[in-house]
Amino acid sequence: MSRVFEPEFVRRLGANIDAKVVPILEETNALLPELTNIDRNLYTTVTLPMAASYSVATSTLTESLAGAAQCFRDMREALEGSAKDMEDTDDACAKAFGN
C-alpha cells in the first residue's frame, strides 16, 4: 500500500480556506454592529425577555465569528506546516534510500 501526499493540494486547500471562508466570516462580523444597534430599539418594542435573548444571541455570534475566523487562519498555517513537513520527510527518505 502506498500513500500519495500532494503538498500543493494541501497548500491550495489552505489558500482556498483563507480566500473563501475567512472573508465571509469577517464580512458578517462587520455587519454585527448594525444588529447591536437594533438591540436598543427592541427594548421598547418587544417584551424584555425577547429583547434580552436577542442581545445575548448577537453578542454570542460576534464572539463566535471572530473566533472562527482566527481558527481558519490557524488552520491554513497548520496546513502549510504539514505540507512543508511532508516535503522534508519525502526528501529525507529519498536521501536515505539514495535517490
Q: Rounded distance, CA 73 to CA 90, Å?
A: 26
pLDDT tens for each residue of the chain, 99 residues long:
456 778 999 999 999 998 999 899 888 888 877 777 776 676 777 787 887 888 888 888 888 888 898 999 999 999 999 999 999 998 998 899 886
Q: How many CB atoms lie within 10 A of CB 76?
A: 19
Domain ranges of the chain: 7-96
Q: Rounded distance, CA 38 to CA 43, Å?
A: 9
State residue 2 phi and psi, 5-degree precision: -120, 150
The pTM of the whole model exceeds 0.75? no
What CATH class is the domain 7-96? mainly alpha
Is residue 79 exposed (0-12), middle (13-18) or buried (19+ Cβ within 10 Å)? Answer: buried
